[in-house]
Every structure is written in C-alpha cells, then in structure tokens.
Structure 1
Amino acid sequence: MSAIAEETTKERAKPPIAILIAASAIGPLALNIFIPSMPGLQYSLSADYATVQLTLTLYLIGLAVSQLLYGPLSDRYGRRPLLLGGLGLFVLASLACSFATSIEELILARILQAVGGCSGIVLGRAIVRDLYERDQAASMIGYITMAWVLAPMVAPLIGGILDTWYGWQASFYFLVVTGALVFLACLRWLHETNFHRQSADGLRGFVIGFPVLLRRKEFLAYALQLSFNSSVFFSFLAGAPYVMTETLGRSPVEYGIYFALVSLGYMAGNGLSGRFSVQRGIDSMILLGLIATWAGTAIMMAFVVAGVLHPITIFVPMLLCSLGNGLSIPNGLAGAISVRPDMAGVGSGLAGFIQMFLGAMISQLVGFLQNGAVYPLFVIMLTCATLAFLANSFTGASKVAPGTQTGP
C-alpha cells in the first residue's frame, strides 16, 4: 500500500471521539460507583474494613497488571480486538459481582472486572497516540478525559442512591447495562488504528519493550510524577468515605454530592490541558499541576491540624488537588508514551502499571493505618504530592523535545 493510500485508510479508520470517551470511562466508572457502598459492606458481608478495602486495592492492582498485557499485545495484534475482548470480560465480571454472596467472591469478581475495564484506559491512550503527534496527543487526551470524567463525577452519587434504595448489588447491575452498551457501540463504530504492528509476539514485547523504556530517564520522570500525583487521588478514594461516614456521620449520598467537586476540578484541569498543552508544552503544564496538587494537600492538612474537620474543608482543597491532577496526568501520560512512539502500547501499559500499582499500594496503606484515625489519610496525601515534585525534579533532567522520536 502506498503512503498516500495508507494515510487515506488511516483517516477513514479514525473512531468517533465519543467511542474513546465511553471506552475510557468504563474502568473509572466501576472504580468510583462502588466506593459509597464500601463502609456498608462491613455489615452486609460480615467483613472488617481492611478486607473490604481489598475490593478497591485489588481492583487497582488488576488495572495495573492488565495494562502490562494490553499495551504490547495491542502493538502486535491491534487495538480493536483487545478492546472488544476487555469490554466483554467487564460485562461478565460485573454480573458476577452482583451475584457475590461473600467478600471473597466479590473481591475475585472485582479483579476480573478491573482486567476487563482497563482495556479502555490503555487502548484509548494508545489510539490517540496512533492518530496524533506528541503535544497534540496531550491535548486530545486532555479533552477526552475532561469529557469522560463526567461519568466518574456522577458515579459516587449514582452509587450512593442505588445503594440506599436497592442495596449494593444495584451498582453492578447498572455497570452490566452500561458496559454492554459500550461494547455494542465499539463493535459497530470502532475501527482499527494501529497500522504499524510489531512482528514480535506479546511475550517478546514484554522482554524487549519494558527494559528499553525503564532505562530511559525521561520515561521514569513522566511515569513517577504522574504515579505519585495520582496516588493523592487514590489515597483520597480509600480514606474519604470512611472519614465522611464514620467520623463525620454523613450519608453515602452526601459523599457522592461532595465528590462532584473533585470531579469538576479534574474536568477543569483536563480542559485546560486540552486548551493549552500545545502552546505551553507538556512540561510546563505538568509543573503547574504539581504545584496545584501540593497546595491543595497542604491546605487540607492545615485545616486538620487546626482541628477544623468538615466536608467543606476536605472537598474544596481536594478540588484544587484534582485540578492539579487534571493538568499534570494527561501531559505526563502523553510524555511517557512519546519517549518511544513506536512502542506506544508498551509505554501506555507500563506507565499505567506504575501509576495503578503504586496507587493500589498507597490506598491499602491508608486503609491499614486509618483504623479510626483521621491523620493518616492527610499525611499520606501530602507525602505523595511532595514525592511527585521530587520525582519530576530528580529524574527529569532530560525530557523529550516536542516532535522528536528517539531510539533505544
């Protein structure tokens, strides 16, 4: 096929942006919709809170590990079949979650749900990088995440209402229907975008691709800063429901209402990324995001130390943190997958693995240390924000120049 013909085919195969939004939103939707139900599971399934916390922690680990598979396999076999398979698994696992009669069954089904749901997260980013150059990819990722963050924004509210009226299983019925609709939409309208598939098999992609990227200082700079910055958010997901329901005596519905502030901040940050990443460059946007996140955690910690604990003093500073996440995470992801554009799938998977695995470990640490105390959550959040700054500074001596493609 000639270069002109290939470009024509590639242009024709561009999927509608709504498809990427919907597929990318499935994993975060399933993560957030269930969170208001977690404190109540202590009584519904006769489990302690640390065990219930595993439904979040192992979900994040499932997201992390699965990204190592989807990335290189999609570089070899294409984005579309991997995405359809992942969405199909998500639907079946969500149904299994709704039928769980013990905490162990629910945890296992949640892991499978994460394996399926993460396909949209990884492959959505890789598809964007297939179609756009480095800084434009950051802009597109910003626009996509700004739009699909609407689903996680309302997810805790939906989950809280469904849990209050119909029980915790209702959230999973909702995910079954939603996942099935996204699967059918992708089956109909999503076309393949990877026209330069690697000849190596999936295992060889692991062996070759991951060490190549891990030896790149600039890749580690992007991956570690976005991982620690994301961990501020994951820590909040782990600890805030407990603080709201057990310490402040608020309802799951009220938690969902306040959580809308967090998602609005993240949506605004992603919107600014989409608007300004091309003009200012991704490294400037990352720095602005890190500053905003650190300031939000510091303000929150100051209120706690002063003994002022109220949903407003928690969620308003968290809005600033989520704004910072929205500025830095899309740009960090775009930077990570642009270190080696020919390994976009591997880069997306590896960066996502580091991000989710670190987030899972830190969120479980919050659950382990909380145990009736308030301070651990806010100390861990401020520590993660500080480590994000350090990672960006110490490993970021040599970032990739816009528009470049570097070798091993």
Structure 2
Amino acid sequence: MSRTRTAPHLLTLVVLSGVSALSMNVFLPSLPGMARDFDVDYGVMQLSVSAYIGASAVLQLLGGPISDRFGRRPVVLWSLVLFLLATIGTMLAGDITTFLIFRLLQSVITVCMLVPRAVVRDLYDGDRAASMLGYVTMGMAVVPMMAPVFGGVLDELFGWQANFAVMGLLALIVLAIAWRDMGETVRDGGMSLRRQMANYPILFRSHRFWGYCLAATLSSGAFFAYLGGAPFVGDQVFGLTPAQVGYWFAAPSIGYITGNFISARNSTRLGLNRMILIGAITCLVALTVGLLADLAGHVRPLIFFGAIATMGLGNGMVLPNANAGMMSIRPELAGTASGLGGALAVAGGAALSALAGALLQPGSGATPLLTIMCCSAFGSLLAIAWVYHRERRIMEPA
C-alpha cells in the first residue's frame, strides 16, 4: 500500500487498541493457578504483569518517535508479527524464566495502543481529537471488559495456555485487518529524528504537556495497581474462582466505556480541562468511599468492585482528554507525545502494580490496594489542578 494519507476505518483503530489491551489482562484470573503450576510465589508470577508493563513503557518511548519518522503502518505491522512469535514462546515455556522472557517480548504489542492515538491526532485537532479518542477507547474497552471473563472460563476448561493461544489467533486476524486497511497518516513521509530532537525542548518545557502527562499517568496508575492486586483480592479475600474473578473484572471496563461515551459526547462542548477535572474527582471520590468501607469492615465484592467501576468511569473521562491534550502541544510530534505519555503511564503503572503485589500478603485484605489507588487518584487531581492554576495565571492581565 502506498504511503498516502488514507484514514484507516475507526474499527481498525479499535481492534488495534483492543488486541494490545487483551494481551495485558486476558490471563489475569489465571495468575494464582499459574503460580502453583510453575511452583513460584504469587509475587513472582505477578511479574508477568508488572514487568510486562515496564517493558511496555520502554517500547512506547521508542515506538512513538519511530512512528513519527517511518510512519504508523510499518510500526503496527512489525509489532503484530513479533507479538505472534513471542506468544508461541509463552505457550511452549517449560519454566518460569522462559515464560517471563517471552512474556516480556510480548510487550511489543503496546505500540498498537499508542499508534491509534497518534492517528486520531493526525486527522483531528484539539477538542475534536478528544471526542474521537473517546469513541476509539470506548470500543477498545469492550475487549478488556470481556477478556478476563473469557480467560477465566478458558482456564477452567483447558488450562492457562489456552489464553495465550487465543491471543495469538486474534493477533493474526488483526494483522490481516491492518495489512488491508491501515493507510498511512503521517504527513510528508514522516519527520526525521534530527528534526524531532530539535523540537523536543519545546515539548518538554511545556507545563501543559507535563500536567496532562501526570494526570493521565496517575489516573491510569490506579487502574494498573488494580490489575496487579485484584486477582489476589479476588482469590484470597473473597474466595472467588478464576471465572468469578473474570466476571468481576468487567466492572472497571463497564465504567470506562461509560466515561468514554461521556467524553465523546461532551469534550467538544466542555473542553479538555473541565472533562479531566470531572473525571479525576470521580475517581478520587469513588476510591475513597471504597477504602472507608473496607476500613469499616464492609468487605464485600459488590462494594469493592463497585468502587472500581466508578473509578473506571472517571478514567474514561480523564484519559482521552489528557491524551488529546498531550498531543496538541506539538501536533507534528503526535507519535512522540503519545509514546512518551504512554510510557510514563505504564512505567508508573508498573511501579504501582509491583507495589500492590508486594504489599498484598495473606491476611492483609484489600486495604493496601485501595490505599495505593486513592493516593494515585489524588495525584491525578493535583496535576490537572496545576494546569488550571498555570493557565489562569497566564490569562490574568498584568
């Protein structure tokens, strides 16, 4: 296919983001059982989440500038091919070390999450980009909503390896779709790495860029901490089976879809900053209520996962708007901004996920996890409040 500005269909962007999300969470209900199969502690098995997230951060730092230079299409196609090879390796792994190596290699698929955001910014501006990102991520959220449910059932029927077989099959289908429909949207054949580096200081000196980055990083950080700790909470605190954990895992995705829909319908009218602020407050209030209920002894799945679902609602408003804000600073560096913002988000998420895994021990309950998530949500609110404060100072007359 020629390197023309042929916009891929919205569905293509959705499935690209979806297969990346699928690889992160479809096997989460299987983690306790996988730890028993490999004869390792849960904290070691949880590295398949936290280390994967950390590797994703590094790859997003590289993938963003590379997609700005060589285009969105080749980056997507190569990442899907490499992901397929790594997935075969995870299924054939006979020990935990081999499994974790191939699991880390699977993280190459993360560029399929950053590229759709950059494509939207290639095609739309400002609040309109935030609205379109809301639609893209709303569709994408269906996959992580259903994946743990499906993964838990597959684990009980065929074992944990079936989850990775499904990852490979779906990646093959998405590769065929991308090959056929993924037209190039980078202008003028891409920006040279030298020109990108010359523009980096402008991007990095922007308080708005870093404010949006921190808002997105800390808001999504609460979700990543949940990914690392919820399987343990479901198994050890609530005594749920892998399939039941998968059912409850749909909670944040339902909230996220709703938040994305609200963003898609209202970002153009209300603006980026207001939508981020509303979302950040929603996250903090929901998680604070969940923590207080836990401290009061109301340890029930409905209360815990209900708070998580409402957090997902807030994230659905924060993330599309914060990502659009990051990429609006220097539109010609949309891929770089998307990659850097995504890298910060997943790096922070890796740290919080690992922290959750370390603090959650038999008898600890859900309190450490909810405390981490509350602190992360509070930081996100402070970040967008900082953007508001700086912009108000700039607009005030001397």
Aligned equivalent of 2:74 = 81
Q: What's the offset of the Cα at 1:186?
A: 0.6
Q: CA deviation at 1:96?
A: 1.1
C-alpha contact (below 8 Å) 2:145/2:252 kept by paired residues: yes
Alignment-mate amino acid for residue 118 of structure 1? T
Which residue identity lines up with residue 354 of structure 1 in the other structure?
L
1:67-116 CA distances to partner (integer Å, 9 max, x unpaired)?
1111111111111011100111111111111111111111111111111x
TM-score, with length taken from structure 2: 0.94
The CA distance in 2 between the partners of 1:105 and 1:212, in whole Å, is 42
Corresponding position of 1:359:
349
Match of 2:211 in 1: 221
Which residue of 1 is the match for residue 51 of structure 2? 58
Which residue does 2:103 correspond to in 1?
110
Hey, what's the Cα distance between the residues in 1 that align with 2:335 and 2:188?
11
Alpha-carbon deviation of 1:205?
A: 6.5
Distance 2:249 2:275 in 1: 24
DSSP 3-state at the match of 2:23? helix
Unaligned runs of 5+ in 1: 1-5, 401-408
Aligned residue identity for 2:348: L
CA–CA distance in 2 between the matches of 1:108 and 1:16?
34
SS in 2 for 1:143: helix
| Offset at residue 399 of structure 1 (A) | 5.3
**Does structure 1 residue 127 correspond to structure 2 residue 119?**
yes
Shift of 1:398: 4.0
Q: What's the CA shift for 1:34?
A: 1.3
**Aligned with residue 90 of structure 2, among 74, 86, 97:** 97
* Superimposed CA distance per residue, residues 341-385 of structure 1 (whole angstroms, 9 cap, x where no aligned partner): 111111011000100100101110111111221221111011111
1:42 and 2:35 matched: yes
The reply to whether residue 378 of structure 1 matches residue 370 of structure 2 is yes
Please report how far the alpha carbon of residue 196 of structure 1 lies from its aligned counterpart in structure 2 after TM superposition. 3.3
Q: Deviations over 1:51-77 (max 9, x none)?
A: 111100111112111111111111111
**Which AA in structure 1 matches 2:143?**
A
The reply to whether residue 191 of structure 1 matches residue 183 of structure 2 is yes
Are residue 171 (structure 1) and residue 141 (structure 2) matched?
no
Residue 178 of structure 1, CA deviation: 0.1
Amino acid of the structure 1 residue aligned with 2:221: S
Residue 262 of structure 2: which of 261, 272, 277 is its match? 272
* Matches of 1:71 and 1:185, distance apart in 2: 21
2: CA distance, partners of 1:286 / 1:30: 27
Shift of 1:209: 4.9
Q: In structure 2, what residue type is equivalent to 1:309?
A: V
Residue of structure 2 in register with 1:341 after alignment: 331
Q: 1:205–1:71: structure 2 CA closer, same or farther, 3 Å change rule? A: farther
Aligned length: 388
In the aligned structure 2, how far is the partner of 1:205 from the partner of 1:399? 28
Structure 2 match to 1:248: 238
Amino acid at match of 1:25: G
Q: In structure 2, do the counterparts of structure 1 residues 27 and 205 end up closer, same or farther at CA, with 3 Å as the change threshold?
A: farther
2:386 to 386, 394, 398: 394
Deviation at 1:194, TM superposition (A): 0.6
Instruction: Select which of 202, 205, 227 maps to 1:237.
Output: 227
Cα distance in structure 1, aligned partners of 2:379 and 2:39: 37
> What do the CA deviations read for 1:242-295 (whole angstroms, capped 9, x no partner)?
011112211111111112222110000001111110111011100110011001
Structure 1 36/324 Cα, relative in aligned 2: closer, same or farther at 3 Å? same
- Which residue of structure 2 aligns with residue 32 of structure 1? 25
Length-normalised TM-score, structure 1: 0.92
Distance 1:143 1:284 in 2: 18
Q: 1:182 aligns with which of 161, 174, 195?
A: 174
SS at match of 1:291: helix
Which of 124, 129, 139 is 2:131 aligned to? 139
Letter aligned with residue 183 of structure 1: L
- What pairs with 1:151-162 in structure 2 (closer than 5 Å)? 151-162=143-154
CA distance in 1 between partners of 2:19 and 2:196 (Å): 26
RMSD of equivalent CA atoms: 1.6
Contact 1:269 1:324 in 2 (8 A): yes
Separation (CA, whole Å) in 2 of partners of 1:45 and 1:274: 44
Deviation, 1:394, is 2.8
Runs of 5+ unmatched residues, structure 2: 393-398
In structure 2, distance between residues paired with 1:23 and 1:142: 15
User: Which secondary structure state, in structure 1, belongs to the residue aligned with residue 373 of structure 2?
Assistant: helix
Within 2, Cα distance between the matches of 1:134 and 1:95?
41
In the alignment, residue 158 of structure 1 is paired with which amino acid?
A: F
Determine the C-alpha separation between the residues in 2 that align with 1:242 and 1:31: 16
Look up the match of 1:405: none
* Aligned partners of 2:277 and 2:385 also within 8 Å: no
The alignment partner of 2:278 has SS state of helix
Contact in 2 for aligned 1:245/1:251 (Cα 8 Å): yes
The CA distance in 1 between the partners of 2:185 and 2:319, in whole Å, is 23
Deviation at 1:125, TM superposition (A): 0.5
